[in-house]
Structure 1
Amino acid sequence: MIYFLNQYIKALNSSVEHAEFKRLALFKHERVNAKIVTRDYDNLGHLNAATFGLNQDDVLNMYDYFQGTTDVTEKTTSFKTLKVPIRYQLHYGSDVTQAFDGGRLAFEIHHTPGRVGEIASVDHFDAFGHVVKRDLWDSRGFKSATQFLDFDGDPHTEILYHQDGTRALERFYEVTDDHQGKVLFNFHLINYRGNDYYFNTEDDLFTFFLDELNQQVKGQNVFIADRPVATDIPMLHMKTRAKKYLFFPILHAANPEDLVHSDLEPSYQEVFNHLDKLDGLITMTESQANQIRIRLKHQKGKGRNIKITVIPGAYVPNDRLKTQPVSPRQKANRVIYVGRLGADKGVDNLLRAFALVVPQVPDAVLDIRGFGDQAFLDSLHQLADQLQIADHVELNGYTADIDPAYDAAKVFVSAAHQDAFPLAMVEALSHGLPVVAFDTNFGPKQIITDGVNGFLMAPGDLYGFAQQVIALLTKGRQLQDMGANAFNSAKDYDAKHIWKQWKTTGILNGGQRK
């Protein structure tokens, strides 16, 4: 079995999760046993996973494993499931239903997003109107956990249940040193295989879980840690033998201008001290692999000669490549960016460049898709107002089904200061969109052939960036030719090409075919 290790699957996901989704789709296409393994407890985790086409067999969560709920029959819930006493008065709402006992609010039912009337959680109130207890309901239709709350509304103790209502785990919180919040600090695994176990941290529990998982499936299992810190450190500490690999979704160095001698990105500092415990590293570009090899030549101790494998994180399904892109003639002058919204992604510079585009292409629209910190989103709105292009910029948020947005656009743009391998660029190519981006480490120069399927600009050259976008929007023949080249270049990421790279690595020895 091959396990892709991650912290969570959320409603809003980063490129780490999307790379896993694509990788799992490829492995399923090739009929090789693989699963995404997640660490965090989330009563809506399976609902989130289903949004991206994943089923219960695709994702194995640590708490599901210990609660015995990895494979359950889904049920629909409603207020009737709670068997509310007949004397209570219910006030129904689309998001929250309140239950009153006379004039006192007894509890509130918070409904599952996107599912009318179903239960996500139930808040219980004391006689003074304080929430003292919260029951969490799994999106598959059963009560999964109970939180006991302080007066500030934060949990101090949690109980996680088996499906029959018996206790599976207890989790306890303590206040952080800076008194700004609480963290999990103690875990009690109850009567697991006839014994009780205690763990100080969630990392310790996750390591124990990985060892248990490794022993449950016969043969040589393969673990690939995708999420920095949350998964690679627990994997390093496993006691049982397995093949272990570290995947790099981000740059390995803190300073992108000095990838060899600058400090390591903090997420990787401990890992690089224990490379001898790994079977290999996986990067998405040869450029990053070479930079790590150079760095390791200067590193003392074991692991400096560790094998580094290069496998692109993108995978374009064959059915996508069989679908011809929408003709540019049928589209408005829409330019799209897809990705996380943060300062390091240079989204503010996209607005500045687009302010140079609008005077030349008055009907141009910049479609920005992704999630980010609210303060940063507010700053983008303010900047668009200052640049007088607010009517030409759409902040459309995170979109799970992104294909229609690509089909409506003519050009994909990115102004990121650094990017290990921007998956959205490959997605855009598969829809016939030329890409305009800065020539930064590492991914853009591997994905874009300058002047063929897009343009690679010198970092910071906003004027040149804008001129290339203008040219693509105003020169129909150039847009058509480069769009065709973009679609053809996406074929480099089809199942045949990417799977060939996986097969030649030796990593797959632990994955039995279905």
Structure 2
Amino acid sequence: MYYFLNQYIKAFNSSVEHVEFHRLALFKHERLHAKIVTRDFDTMEYLNAANFGLKQDDILNMYDYFQGTTDVKEKQTSTKGLNIPISYQLKYDSDVSKAYQGGRLAQTIHHTPSRVGEISSVEHYDEFGNIANRELWDSRGFHSASQFLDYDGAPHAEILYHLDGTRALERFWEVTDDRKGKVIFNIHLINYKGNDYYFNSEEELFTFFLDEINTQDKDETTFIADRPGVADIPLVNMKTKAKKYLFFPILHAANPEDLINSPLEPSYEEVFKHLDKLDGLITMTDAQARQLRIRLKRQKGKGRNIKITSIPGVAFSNKQLKEPQVPMANRPGNKVLYVGRLGADKGVDNLIRAFALVTPQVPDATLDIRGFGDQEFVKSLEDLIQQLNLQNNVTISGYTPEIQPVYDSAKVFASAAHQDAFPLAMAEALAHGLPLVAFDTNFGPGEIIKDKVNGFLLEPGDLYGYSQTIISLLTKNTVLQRTSENSYLDSKNYSYPKVWKKWKNVLLSKSNTK
């Protein structure tokens, strides 16, 4: 069995999750048993995962495992099953229904998004109008947990149930030292295999969980830690023997300008002390692999000679690679596309500034920005669009799960990131024949883009040159079509057979750990 270790699957996902989606499809194509393993308790996880084509059996959640709900037949829920007292007056709404006792609000019933009338949670109010406790329902149709809330509406205690209503776990929170939030300080695993267990954190429970699922498999198990700071330490703390790999979805150093000597990215500081407990490191680019080898050769202690392998974060099926090509002449308008997280390190603000130099020469050019990010930063982008008078040319369209048709509607893929371990969307854009424009920064652009062949690499910060490149592509049909055809051709570098060959070399090697 192959387990890809993560924290969650959300409605809006980062490249960490999307890399796992690609990898899972590849492993399933090779008829290998693989699952995405998630740590966090989330009643919406399976509904979110289904929106990305994942089935219940593709995921193994830690809390589901201990609740005995990993294989549940879905059923519909409704207010009829809540046993609301007959004396309450119920007012229905599509998102939130309310139950009143006389003039007092007694319950609010939150409905599952996209599922009319189904139950997501029920909040119960005390006589003073405060939420006293909250009942949580899993999107698959069962009562999953009860939360007991403080005055601020945050839980201080929680009970998680088995399907028969008996207690599976209890969780307790305490206020942090800076009094700005709460953290879990105790988890009680109840009558698990005849014993009770207590843990001081989710990290400890996650380690216990990994050991438990490891002992279930008769054959050798392989774990790949994908989420930095969440999956890596539980992996190295496991007591049972398995093959263990650390995957790098981000840069390993805090300073992208000095990847060898600068301090480590904080998420990696602790796990780098335990490299001897891992079978290998996996990066998504050859450049990052080289930098890591140099860095580790300079450090003392165990793990300095650990095997480091580069494997791309995408993989395209033969079916996808054989999809009919969309000629540039058949793509209406002059749409430039950005797909990715909206953060300062992604340089989306500079992309907008560069686009302000494009529109005077290509008035009908549009920039479609797809992704999610911190609300404050997104607001700053919206303000910038207003300041540059680009309201008719630049749109922040938000996160789009079904992104394939959007790629096919664009003419250019643009990225202005200051740093990136591997720009996943850029590689995906190749498979849709998009010419690529990006700054030549660490790490991915230089390995995905062949300058002047399938796209163009610019010196970091050269906004004028960047804008002129986009103008050239949008106004020179011959160049646009030629680079598009080369993008389609180069997407074959990420075919299932080629990417699987790299994985096969890693997975079939002997374990170095005990």
Q: Which TM-score band (shorter chain)?
A: over 0.9
- Indicate the residue corresponding to 1:380 in structure 2: 381
- Indicate the residue corresponding to 1:234 in structure 2: 234
- Indicate the residue corresponding to 1:410 in structure 2: 411
Deviation, structure 1 residue 507: 4.7
Q: Which moved more, 1:178-187 or 1:361-370?
A: 178-187
- Indicate the residue corresponding to 1:433 in structure 2: 434
Deviation, structure 1 residue 35: 0.6
Q: Distance in 1 between matches of 2:509 and 2:83?
A: 50
Q: Distance in 1 between matches of 2:126 and 2:510?
A: 57
Mapped pair 1:152 → 2:175: no
Matches within 5 A, 1:302-451: 302-330=302-330, 331-451=332-452
SS of the equivalent of 1:390 reads coil
After superposition, what is the alpha-carbon deviation per residue over 1:127-157, rounded to whole angstroms, capped at 9, x for unaligned? 1111100001000000100100011111000
The residue type paired with residue 251 of structure 1 is L
- Indicate the residue corresponding to 1:261 in structure 2: 261
Whether the 8 Å CA contact 1:502–1:508 is kept in 2: the answer is no
- Indicate the residue corresponding to 1:181 in structure 2: 181
- Indicate the residue corresponding to 1:90 in structure 2: 90
SS of the equivalent of 1:496 reads helix
- Indicate the residue corresponding to 1:141 in structure 2: 141
- Indicate the residue corresponding to 2:8 in structure 1: 8
The residue type paired with residue 332 of structure 1 is G
- Indicate the residue corresponding to 1:56 in structure 2: 56
SS of the equivalent of 1:254 reads coil
Q: Distance in 1 between matches of 2:490 and 2:84?
A: 59
Q: Distance in 2 between matches of 1:327 and 1:119?
A: 46
After the TM superposition, which parts of structure 1 deviate over 6 Å for at least 4 consecutive aligned residues?
none
Deviation, structure 1 residue 326: 2.0
Mapped pair 1:287 → 2:290: no
List alignment gaps of at least 5 residues for structure 2. none
The residue type paired with residue 147 of structure 2 is Q
Name the TM-score, length of structure 2 as normaliser: 0.98
Deviation, structure 1 residue 118: 0.6
Whether the 8 Å CA contact 1:369–1:396 is kept in 2: the answer is yes
- Indicate the residue corresponding to 2:459 in structure 1: 458
Mapped pair 1:127 → 2:147: no
Deviation, structure 1 residue 429: 0.8
SS of the equivalent of 1:381 reads helix
SS of the equivalent of 1:66 reads helix
Deviation, structure 1 residue 83: 2.3
Q: Distance in 2 between matches of 1:256 and 1:452?
A: 27
Q: Distance in 1 between matches of 2:203 and 2:94?
A: 38
Q: Distance in 2 between matches of 1:267 and 1:104?
A: 48
Aligned length: 510
List alignment gaps of at least 5 residues for structure 1. none
Q: Distance in 2 between matches of 1:175 and 1:507?
A: 46
Q: Distance in 1 between matches of 2:49 and 2:318?
A: 22
The residue type paired with residue 111 of structure 2 is H
SS of the equivalent of 2:56 reads coil
The residue type paired with residue 412 of structure 1 is F
What do you get for the CA RMSD once the two structures are aligned? Answer: 1.0
Q: Distance in 2 between matches of 1:157 and 1:362?
A: 58
SS of the equivalent of 1:404 reads helix
After superposition, what is the alpha-carbon deviation per residue over 1:356-412, rounded to whole angstroms, capped at 9, x for unaligned? 000010001100000001111110111111111121111000000001111111000
Q: Distance in 2 between matches of 1:74 and 1:207?
A: 29
Deviation, structure 1 residue 89: 1.2
SS of the equivalent of 1:367 reads strand
Q: Which moved more, 1:333-342 or 1:309-318?
A: 309-318
Higher RCO (Cα < 8 Å, 6 or more apart): 1
Name the TM-score, length of structure 1 as normaliser: 0.98
The residue type paired with residue 346 of structure 2 is K
- Indicate the residue corresponding to 2:501 in structure 1: 500
Q: Distance in 1 between matches of 2:15 and 2:363?
A: 33
Deviation, structure 1 residue 509: 7.3
After superposition, what is the alpha-carbon deviation per residue over 1:444-480, rounded to whole angstroms, capped at 9, x for unaligned? 1110000000001000000011111001101111111
Q: Distance in 2 between matches of 1:411 and 1:130?
A: 52
Mapped pair 1:162 → 2:162: yes
Deviation, structure 1 residue 508: 7.4
Q: Distance in 1 between matches of 2:106 and 2:258?
A: 59
Deviation, structure 1 residue 67: 0.1
The residue type paired with residue 136 of structure 1 is L
Q: Distance in 2 between matches of 1:295 and 1:404?
A: 42
The residue type paired with residue 392 of structure 1 is N
Matches within 5 A, 1:241-260: 241-260=241-260
Mapped pair 1:72 → 2:64: no
Q: Distance in 2 between matches of 1:185 and 1:93?
A: 37
Fraction of identical pairs, as percent: 69
- Indicate the residue corresponding to 1:296 in structure 2: 296
Q: Distance in 2 between matches of 1:184 and 1:236?
A: 22
After superposition, what is the alpha-carbon deviation per residue over 1:425-451, rounded to whole angstroms, capped at 9, x for unaligned? 111111110000000111111100000
Q: Distance in 2 between matches of 1:235 and 1:444?
A: 31
SS of the equivalent of 1:233 reads helix
- Indicate the residue corresponding to 2:224 in structure 1: 224
Deviation, structure 1 residue 500: 1.2
Deviation, structure 1 residue 69: 0.2
SS of the equivalent of 1:180 reads coil
Q: Which moved more, 1:15-24 or 1:308-317?
A: 308-317
Q: Distance in 2 between matches of 1:507 and 1:342?
A: 38
SS of the equivalent of 1:223 reads strand
- Indicate the residue corresponding to 2:45 in structure 1: 45
- Indicate the residue corresponding to 2:171 in structure 1: 171
